Structure 1
């Protein structure tokens, strides 16, 4: 008998699967091996028939790990497949997807092949099947990095141990808490758990309770739990707090020296009523036929110096996060609401982009400089909108001295927007909602965000400054951070064209490419139609996600060759980062050493900023979903009108007029067996040919709500035939 035989038999005595796998792989990788079937391997190793299931288990694990593969004739050989690294995105139903950077589509992972990966883990994946028509399918062979070192959930106490039921419904296993590791938690407490052992197929993850957040009925604990589950830090560390002590409350005279002094210019800020971190102000004058627009941005870098504790913490957070009941800021309040905020009547340091704009809305000249300003009036979007639309006589009296200025703002805004529209800039005006809370933090109403003339003019001015700064530094060929938005995937544009054709609209493509102007034309054509909400949403889903990069590849959505984020350094790290570069360049120019320094760090800054932006968006979305569930608890059994906002193979999503979205299970669609037509975004009855189509109007009843899963279930009351337009 061979040495391999004795090795397999010997380890069989100890029943050690890992050793058995090593024996098999040593044999497969040896020069004497030729591909064999399972039966041939069993014969070679002398494994009796009754125990061949043990060999089968070992071979199956090696297949799942990607170390072996099976030929068409059923023979085992060393795998030639290469694995890919990606992020595992779990689904509540057990399966998942792996998102691999550089791939246009995700890889589908059936539930039985997830290899114990948790949502967010970085995994090794092998593709098993891939064709042009179907999504790639594969299996996970290993976990490179765990994403969930901490988990938030409900604690359940047993006699000698406990369990934590994760809030994240994409984490399918409870966390086992051994005796003495519960930290005094009681049944029903919301807790934070450090995972000490991630377990395997036969063993639950294990952990210890490190923080008790309180009962879920306690005020604010619901949102705090979501913040913790995303790893959002609330407090700043001791080192940061110590650095804050040396930051002045007033602007120092020495810091004003050498700056352009704009304190004599009429300067205003325009923000929401509740805003406290005011990082942009505006001035506007006219000289002949040329408008002189000043966009003045808080000079945060004067106080947040490179490589300080403040700077490192700001990069770690990368963005402020706006949850329904709180803001988790990128910078401490002493900066964000204090010395950096452009508060009325206070001298403030700024970085100013002074633009010259002609009568066609073209920016024909500019100057970027360090400055000092003093805001004359802290305005709100509501008040400015009432003035420029002549809708409130009392407001007009209150701001009589500024009426001409605000009207001029509107004129210049229209010029800039017109120029952007002419080149093909896309403006998705999808409804967003604001959840209104009572003093106890409970949701009592859901209202749409108002996007009025005042919000649009600020948007126009900020976009103009961002483009101007980006183009300036692109041509200087200096290391920089850009906000980029790549061209859409041609296959998605093809699907969009087919979909909108069902509504009677067309999308012109040239060499499989769709210019921004075509999307813009589509949005104009559907404006005011019943099809507008759903086509706008599908068009937006067909776009790629904007991100940060060190290479200026343009911004598809804005139809802009050059774009960056310059205007919000209090709440976005990329803006703060480029302010440093701009100021260094203004003062002494960048030395070769500093150019090399920025080349070394900016790719990481771009990656971190993009990653933290996604985290913030997800956290914000989850808190809104939770509060919408809370609000709808008072409406169970009530009927509402809505439209079908999503169609899947397992049911349909319906969005109500108040932006609340719920789900109708396939099993609750009565009268037929429905099949999913992915290309047409529809369910079609097998016998009746009845259809449920994206955009179709329906009436639903609120049936059930699961706040923990953040899910609302509807039952269909009646539907309008066809597409509802």
Structure 2
């Protein structure tokens, strides 16, 4: 249902109480997607004083006379009004006039608007006092929330919008901004939105009850889009959404409303990505109903009345032909050439679209809004409905069509002698393709086109004459190849190929250029306003920078006194055949100005033409349609010249249309570029890891771009993949590394595909080898490994981050060498253990022993020894160990007190209790800690003092994580008298940590296995005893020190829990 202010007033008048927004939606029969539009209408009615807002409800009120604000107090603002827009007093703002309560009295004093209105010298005042005129431009959002406004005139600097301002409009909106700041640092504030470029979006439909959501991947849209439930799509389908936003400024964080316009199928369809790119830049794949109604009203054939009306000439007997691509469906130009005395006659007939698309019609408004057709690999988004573009306006063969004609004559040197413009009716004799024309010119037999060979030869002879004339005049011919995506029947890309520029292409180009120049000359001679195609001189600074770059490659370009187009074309001719030709052509193009449409400036630098415009493609370009319409207006005046005031108004009107066409042309180019990049990533994503030959095509600070020689796909090689210290040398346009490597455009290299992202449309490569160089060393990934500080394995003890522990302090006093992790070659492997055992020595200074077999002990015990007697894996060895006084299963624990026996040990029936070892007599008043002693040397030398002969302490817990035991050279405490490992004690000596006792117990088990009975019942008992020893047991407080639990009473039975001995004093 439509929404109008009168309808809202009627609803409020009929209601017996104030209505809220949701109640108004229900009463008016509107859908939730129109809530934003309803709020906008309500705000306008409140500002006009027609209705009054009571809290969140609205009621009808007659208009009131605004009350003047008190002296020294600023006028109140409505909360819904933008904080920066200066307004007078709100109508009916007085409490006694409204008759409302306290809430009404505070209207306009909510939030930050009131505070900002009283701040002097604030941001609002900065904009008001800047003196800068408001700027009209196109908003381009950044993914981080801020944006830039590009002036529609193409002149001046871009204006920065902070996130709070940029998010009040949508990407590609045409807006007006106020400007503050200095050159190079301009900041803007949104005033209003002139037009919404974006009406559609693509996303995934998510059903959620009353308000479903469409999750879009477009980062420039503010979050998900709320839509009413629909039967057009299932949950999870890709859908097309029509956004329900008007021309009002948005409230940041409020989100968007819309309605589902159609289903696009399930996710993964490439066509959805293509449409998403087109929708994001303001293009659409559908036309409004009123536009389609106008298009459907036209007949499918030209009537005789139309063919004979006015001064239209009859050219149906002339053998005009159309030449287009194989996949073209809209034919808007036809040509004919015949020899004349000393030259040729050239007739260029263009479809008369202006006969059908009248000014101020719905067709004309939609055509201006689009301004151009968008040609994509899988579809065309036409400027006009297909009933016109592919039907009545298209110059189909053997059908009568209305046309506008440029009739010209040229001499043998390609100079135009005369030109005449007139409307006509024509009938094309053939629809030819570029390949067919080229085959005929090359002498190939083409049966259905051989009869046109004389015509093709005349056209080619004229085209060569025109090319020579333009070359002598100084026209620039860059000859930059274009890429074309070829799709398969399933819609997936098959390959990328370069569009070869053949003589048949040049033939049509020269004919169209000649017609465009002739029409532009006509308007210039008559002094009448029109829309020209303007191309200015290159930027002097950019051109000077390019001259320095060209000099680095051995080419000279003098730019001190400016460069004419003829001199620049001569320079480009020098590049032909050079390996860097394509790259240098691309860099030179970047220094050139971009061609635009305008009604105030004439001349085309690149074509070396004094006057130039677009006349030959009205089906797909709106400026051409404008030129046709202006020509007809001139002919209708029959030589009468309009007044100067009328000409000024007309020029101003045309300038606005020209800016619109320039902006839409750039948007179409962006869409086409994004879609090609998407198909390139889609085609390459299954070839990750493959290697290709490539050429450096461009340089940037973050890396360099390469183009594959065979696949014709471009991608990025990130700078850090070749090493650190890269820097862009702007003088030579090369990437210089700290190691002396220099990467320049045109270099040949071998690359490997690392990734192809269809969402970001980016392809990353890794450089493997440059031409005539050795292969690069690092070829494992896109990013080099991060430089990390090498993990230092610390000895058991206090955390080194705080005050050092006692052992560390004593090591400093005695000058001991700090503990270090043993090198890889110091850690013996399984084979070295065997040889070391025979020599009775180990690198840790203790007697070597052979680790027990894993199947003979419990799993837990085998894990405890896995790092001691076997080779640890590289990953485990590289993993840093946890810190703490003692590390155990990743936890920090305090040192356990010394015990005479291990709680892991179990008594065996075969063994008799061993005599208790005599402990050393401790000094009076000191606590004695018992630790292992060093074994005697091979020569039988006696052990020295504890400080000199003590064995380094081993971290057996490291074996649990796969690391080898590490030696330690910390100075020991003086109250330590370690017993020998070789002592023949049946009970192990006390230790400061259960890990020592555990190893000793297992060693004793191993010794018993090697000296026990035959492997029958004895070995079975040993395995059973070992299994019992692997489980942890509670220590018994009543067991005597130095005796095993169970004693002689347990002979022949499974031992019970072991009891540790009393602590030694």
TM-score, normalised on structure 2? Answer: 0.57
Write the deviation string for residues 287-337 of structure 1: whole angstroms up to 9, x where unpaired: 221211111111222222222322222222222211111111122222222
User: CA shift at 1:699, angstroms?
Assistant: 2.4
Structure 1 match to 2:763: 712
Query: Secondary structure in 1 aligned to 2:336?
Result: strand
Task: Report if aligned partners of 2:322, 2:334 keep a CA contact under 8 Å in 1.
Answer: yes
Displacement of 1:708 after TM fit?
1.6
Provide the rounded CA distance (Å) in 1 between the counterparts of 2:715 and 2:512.
36
Instruction: Work out whether 1:582 is the aligned partner of 2:631.
Output: yes
Given that 2:691 and 2:752 are in contact with CA atoms closer than 8 Å, whether structure 1 keeps it comes out as yes
1:609 aligns with 661
Secondary structure of residue in 1 paired with 2:119: helix
Could you tell me which residue of structure 2 aligns to residue 485 of structure 1?
535
Separation in 2 of the partners of 1:348 and 1:381?
22
Which of the numbers 667, 682, 698 marks the counterpart of 1:646?
A: 698
Cα displacement (A) at 1:127:
7.0
Residues 1:609 and 1:124: Cα distance change in structure 2 (over 3 Å)? closer
d(CA) in 2 for partners of 1:355, 1:542: 35
The 10-residue stretch of structure 1 (624-633 or 297-306) with the greater mean CA deviation from structure 2:
297-306
Q: Provide the alpha-carbon RMSD of the alignment.
A: 3.4
Deviations 1:262-295 (A, max 9, x none): 2222221111122221111111111221211111
The separation in 2 between residues aligned to 1:108 and 1:504, in whole angstroms, is 40
Relative distance call for 1:138 and 1:698 in structure 2 (3 A) is farther
Using the TM superposition, give the Cα deviation of residue 550 of structure 1 relative to its aligned residue in structure 2, in angstroms.
1.1
Is the Cα–Cα contact under 8 Å of residues 228 and 259 in structure 2 kept in the other structure? no
Q: Output aligned runs, 1:95-114, within 5 Å.
A: 97-100=148-151, 106-107=157-158
Unaligned runs of 5+ in 1: 29-61, 70-77, 131-135
User: How many angstroms apart in 2 are the aligned matches of 1:178 and 1:570?
Assistant: 36
Which residue, 566, 571, 582 being the options, matches 1:522? Answer: 571
* 8 Å Cα contact 2:200/2:280 also seen in 1: yes
Are residues 720 and 285 of structure 1, via their aligned partners in 2, closer, same or farther at CA, if it must alter by over 3 Å?
same
Structure 2 counterparts to residues 546-585 of structure 1, below 5 A: 546-585=595-634
Moved more, 80-89 or 282-291: 80-89
Cα distance in 2 between the residues matched to 1:350 and 1:108: 44
Aligned to 1:221: 272
Report SS of the residue matched to 2:338. strand
Q: What's the counterpart of residue 494 of structure 1?
A: 544
Q: Which residue of 2 aligns with 1:504?
A: 554
CA apart distance, 1:448: 1.3
Q: Superposed, which structure 2 residues align to 1:625-664 within 5 Å?
A: 625-657=677-709, 658-664=711-717
Q: Counterpart of 2:317 in 1: which secondary structure? A: coil
Structure having greater relative contact order (Cα 8 Å, sep ≥ 6):
1
Report the Cα distance in structure 2 between the residues aligned to 1:125 and 1:720, rounded to whole angstroms. 54
Look up the match of 1:120: 172
Match for residue 358 of structure 1 among 411, 415, 438: 411
Residue 467 (structure 2) pairs with residue 417 (structure 1): yes
Contact 1:129 1:138 in 2 (8 A): yes
2:750 and 2:129 map into 1 onto residues whose CA distance is: 54
Aligned equivalents of 2:152 and 2:664: distance in 1? 16
- Per the alignment, residue 724 of structure 2 pairs with 672
Q: Label 1:143 to 1:630 Cα distance change in 2 as closer, same or farther (>3 A).
A: farther
- Kindly tell me: are residues 211 and 692 of structure 1, through their superposed partners in 2, closer, same or farther at Cα, counting changes over 3 Å? farther
Contact 2:396 2:431 in 1 (8 A): yes
* CA deviation profile, 1:243-279 (whole Å, cap 9, x unmatched): 3344222222222224322222222111112222111
Q: Secondary structure at the match of 1:669?
A: helix
- Residue 233 of structure 1: aligned partner: 284
- Corresponding position of 1:688: 739
Structure 2 distance, partners of 1:424, 1:398, is 39
Looking at structure 1, the residues matched to 367 and 329 of structure 2 have their Cα atoms a distance apart, in angstroms, of 18
State the distance in 2 between where 1:264 and 1:466 align: 24
- Deviation digits for residues 521-573 of structure 1, max 9, x if unmatched? 12101011111111110111111111111124201110100001111111111
| 2-structure distance, mates of 1:182, 1:174 | 23
- Local SS of the residue matching 1:220: helix
- Which residue pairs with 2:499 in the alignment? 449
Residue 342 of structure 1 is matched in structure 2 by 395
2:230 & 2:396 partners in 1: Cα distance? 49
Q: Which residue of 1 aligns with 2:811?
A: none
Question: Which residue of the partner structure matches residue 57 of structure 1?
Answer: none
Matched, 1:385 2:438: yes
5 Å-filtered alignment, 1:152-551, equals: 152-155=201-204, 157=206, 166-169=216-219, 171=220, 174-175=223-224, 177=226, 186-187=235-236, 189-192=238-241, 194=243, 203=253, 205-214=255-264, 215-218=266-269, 220-257=271-308, 258-390=311-443, 392=444, 394-395=445-446, 397-511=447-561, 513-551=562-600
SS at match of 1:700: strand
**Contact 2:130–2:180 under 8 Å retained in 1:** no
User: Larger C-alpha radius of gyration, 1 or 2?
Assistant: 2
Report the CA distance between 1:92 and its aligned residue: 4.9
Indicate if the aligned counterparts of 2:215 and 2:225 stay in contact, CA closer than 8 A: no
- Distance of 2:386 and 2:346 partners within structure 1: 29
Deviation at 1:463, TM superposition (A): 0.1
Cα distance in structure 2, aligned partners of 1:620 and 1:198: 30
Aligned to 1:49: none
CA distance in 2, matches of 1:282, 1:328: 26
CA distance in 1, matches of 2:177, 2:472: 46
Cα separation, 1, equivalents of 2:751 and 2:161: 32
Displacement after TM superposition at 1:380 (Å): 1.0
Contact 1:162 1:178 survives alignment (8 Å): yes
CA contact (8 A) 1:185 1:212 kept: no
Question: 1:625-684: CA deviations, max 9, x gaps?
Answer: 211111112222112222333333333322223432212333x42322212333433322
1:183-237: CA deviations, max 9, x gaps?
Answer: 9773463453637698777x46344454354333347323222222223232333
Distance of 1:604 and 1:709 partners within structure 2:
34
Return the alpha-carbon distance in structure 1 between the equivalents of residues 581 and 540 of structure 2: 22
Q: Which of the two has greater strand per residue?
A: 1
Offset from partner CA, 1:115-173 (integer Å, 9 cap, x none): 6476435474867676xxxxx3455554753867556354475978776554334x285
Range with bigger deviation, 219-228 or 418-427? 219-228
Task: For 1:309 and 1:120, locate their aligned partners in 2 and report how far apart those are by CA, in whole Å.
Answer: 23
Contact (CA 8 Å) 2:375, 2:672: kept in 1 or not?
yes
Does structure 1 conserve the Cα–Cα contact (< 8 Å) formed by 2:152 and 2:663? no
Is the 1:190–1:216 Cα contact (8 Å) retained in structure 2?
no
Bigger mean CA offset, 185-194 vs 697-706: 185-194
3-state SS, counterpart of residue 486 of structure 1: coil
- Offset from partner CA, 1:564-619 (integer Å, 9 cap, x none): 11111111111112112223333542655696574453222212222222222222
Deviates more, 1:599-608 or 1:346-355: 599-608
Distance 1:195 1:266 in 2: 52
Q: How does 1:74-113 map to 2 (within 5 A)?
A: 80=130, 82=132, 85=135, 86-92=137-143, 97-100=148-151, 106-107=157-158
Name the CA distance, whole Å, in 2 between partners of 1:517 and 1:211.
Answer: 53
What is the total number of aligned residue pairs between the two structures? Answer: 656
SS at match of 1:564: coil
State how far apart, in whole Å, the 2-side matches of 1:112 and 1:587 are. Answer: 52
Question: Separation in 1 of the partners of 2:363 and 2:251?
Answer: 40
1:52 is matched with none
Instruction: Give 3-state SS (helix, strand or coil) of 1:652's partner.
Output: strand
